[in-house]
Amino acid sequence: MSNLSLFEPRLFKPAFSDPFESMFNRFMAPMRMEMENGALDMRLDVTEVDGKYKVCADIPGVKKEDINVRIDGNIVQIDAAAKKHKETKDNGGKVLRSERWEGAVSRTFSLTQDVDESKATAKYEDGVLTLELPKMATSTAKRLQIQ
């Protein structure tokens, strides 16, 4: 545990300057602390264009080898793991604050239509995973002749 903490000047504004902003900053403080502790998070955008789904997932700090995408019909699961870097100490010094972490995150979501897995593509660049997920061709209903 470190004795150091981040200084956020906006948290030390007088409460009477803007009551809403002051309340909002106090409300969001636990969330900021959670993120400082190194929780790995994944934010998603899912769009539908020209017969396919496009998924953009923000997964910063993860190597592409540590990302796994699974598709089962209309269910998509993205797993990612980040590994902590080795800490080095110079000449017997001690680490005062370390913000590097390791952890895993997984997101599973369903789409309105099945995905054609054979045509799906994935690209990871600058911390963003982009999936192109073509929709499975729908079969048209066939009317049966009654004999």
Residue 60: what pLDDT? 87
Please report the domains of the chain, with CATH numbers, ordered by start residue: 7-37 (no CATH), 40-87+97-135 (2.60.40.790)
Q: What is the pLDDT of residue 80?
A: 94
Are the C-beta atoms of 11 and 18 separated by less than 8 Å?
Answer: no
**Residues 144/131, Cβ–Cβ less than 8 Å:** no
pLDDT at 85: 63
Alpha helices in 10-137 (DSSP H): 19-36
* Backbone torsions φ then ψ of 33, nearest 5 degrees: -65, -40
Mean local confidence (pLDDT), 88-107: 74
Top pLDDT among 138 and 74 is at: 74
Q: What percent of the chain has pLDDT over 90?
A: 43
Give the total residue count for the chain: 147
Residue 31 has pLDDT above 80, yes or no: no
- Tens of pLDDT, residue by residue over 49-69, are 988 999 999 998 889 999 999
Q: CA–CA distance from 69 to each of 2, 57, 66, 83, 98 (Å)?
A: 36, 11, 10, 18, 30
DSSP 20-56: HHHHHHHHHHHHHHHHHTT----EEEEEEETTEEEEE
pLDDT tens per residue, range 99-118: 666 789 999 999 999 999 99
Its pTM stands at: 0.62
Average pLDDT over residues 77-91: 75
Pairing of strands 67-72, 128-134: unpaired
